[in-house]
Structure 1
Amino acid sequence: MKFSHKYSVSSPTEMYKYQRTALSGLHQEPPCFEHPKMMTVPTHNTIGSVFAWLFASDNSRERRLLLWDIFSLIILVPLAMMGTSLGMKVLNNNVGTMTGIVLAYTRFLQLSMACATLTLDAGILTWTIVRLQYHFLHWYDWYKRNCKVILLGYPEPEAPLGVQHVSSATVREMRF
């Protein structure tokens, strides 16, 4: 559906706002309809939720992946540190009294070692950041799914209702 507009829209965000405004006039909600107001309450505090996430029964794959990532870091970080220190020692060689061919070869070796050192360090740093983001997003997804949603403006039920008596009109809390 094409929208014609008099004013220029400079960004996709402004275009989206313009389209939402144009569509809101086409599809009006009935006057008696209102969106339910709700409040999300976490079931765990932030630090406690990390341990709850690790020990949850449905996260055995996540625990295994996190354990492998920790072991990989324990092995890779010392190797990267040794490679970096070796690369820096090669770069600090004194090349003042060498002949032309040996000097060119030594300079090439120094450049190669500097590139290899930077590549190794950047690769390990990138891998670490990607894995941290992966684990953080899985924890955050679990954290959001384990929040309690309270619908505001609805009365509390007088007595606890059995499962067979619960209807959507009487539900006040939902767990995800």
Structure 2
Amino acid sequence: LDAQDCKETVLLYLADPEEIGSMGDTGAESFVFVNFMREYIRKTGITATWDELLENALSISADVTGALDPTFKSVNDPNNVSYLGHGVSIEKYGGRGGKYSTSEAHAEYMHYLRSLATKHGIPWQTGEQGKIDIGGGGTIAMFMSRYGMDCVDVGPCMLGMHSPFEVTSKVDIYCTYLLYKAFFEDAR
């Protein structure tokens, strides 16, 4: 990323293969992240344990969310969905069947991210993956949250997710980039 002069230690963790359940030796369900934290502590000489560090960490699950499809409106609540061209989407929870297989961000953390976007003049919106038992999808937020860290889904919304013809907005992608950059540079 283009983040400059970060106030705190920042880490970019790229997990794969999220789309098939985050399993495997590099997925969010693996021990690769914990093992990295243990090695980081060993090499830096920090006196905290890996679980203490993670419990005090802030994280973003950088992923796309569904946008309102004007040709298939029935799967979304028009008052609780992201729209193309309206800015980065900050999603309190994902999952399916209500809030199954998900995590839900604390209100204070949602406020922090929304305030960060507002402070930097970044357009943002909230939404969800779809109506209960119709839409849905999971991200790695639930796996990061199990360590006690604050985590929320942040990214652009998309039409036709997982189809051969996915569509998103350049504005939303740019706003997402700006918020990720601000997140790294302004870490509290």
Q: Does TM, normalized by the shorter one, top 0.5?
A: no
Identify which of structures 1 and 2 has the higher relative contact order when contacts are C-alpha pairs closer than 8 Å and 6+ apart.
1
- Which one has a larger percent helix, Structure 1 or Structure 2? 1
Compute the TM-score of the two structures, normalised by the length of structure 1: 0.20
Max Rg structure: 1
Normalising by structure 2, what TM-score? Answer: 0.19
Larger proportion of strand: 2
